[in-house]
């Protein structure tokens, strides 16, 4: 595991071929958290990866914003998204925001 970002209560890391967020994504940290993933995505040689938000226990639009930024970079670089995993609270928020297609369909086919 490689840690890309770490602050009290939130971590971004890479495990195998998965970019993983753990903890509560607060608005005040979202830009730095997103930037850490973007930096890694711009330099990775992977052509396929997963995005894992299953360890984000607090539903937060900031977490979804981070996801969209990472998806944008993946699309630019031609990186295929194998899966997007959400925690139950984050899944409920995404569903309320009518983003179910983002969770349930391959992200590479979505216009982000």
The pLDDT tens digits of the residues spanning 31-45 come to 999 999 999 999 999
pTM above 0.95, yes or no: no
**pLDDT lower than 50: segments of the chain:** 107-112
In the chain, % of residues over pLDDT 90: 81
Please answer whether residues 108 and 77 qualify as being in contact, where contact means their C-beta atoms are separated by less than 8 angstroms.
no
| Predicted local distance difference test score (pLDDT) of residue 105 | 59
Query: Could you give the C-alpha distances from 56 to 12, 48, 91, in angstroms and in order?
Result: 11, 22, 10
| Predicted local distance difference test score (pLDDT) of residue 99 | 84
Domain formed by 2-104, architecture: 2-Layer Sandwich (3.30)
Please answer whether residues 17 and 46 qualify as being in contact, where contact means their C-beta atoms are separated by less than 8 angstroms.
yes
- Angle, helices 88-96/61-77, rounded to nearest 10 degrees: 80
Q: Which residues are within 8 A (CB) of 55 and not within 5 positions of it... i.e. 6 or more apart?
A: 20, 21, 22, 23, 87
> Residue 47: helix, strand or coil by DSSP?
coil
């Amino acid at each position: 595991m490689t840690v890309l970002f770490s602050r009290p209560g939130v971590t971004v890391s890479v495990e195998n071929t998965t970019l993983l967020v753990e903890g509560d994504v607060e608005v005040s940290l979202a830009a730095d958290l997103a930037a850490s993933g973007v930096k890694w995505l711009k330099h990775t040689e992977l052509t396929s990866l997963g995005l894992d938000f299953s360890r984000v226990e607090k539903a937060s639009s900031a977490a979804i914003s981070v996801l969209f930024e990472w998806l944008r970079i993946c699309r630019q670089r031609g990186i295929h998204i194998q899966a997007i995993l959400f925690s139950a609270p984050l899944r409920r928020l995404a569903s309320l925001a009518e983003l179910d297609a983002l969770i349930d369909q391959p992200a590479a086919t979505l216009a982000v």
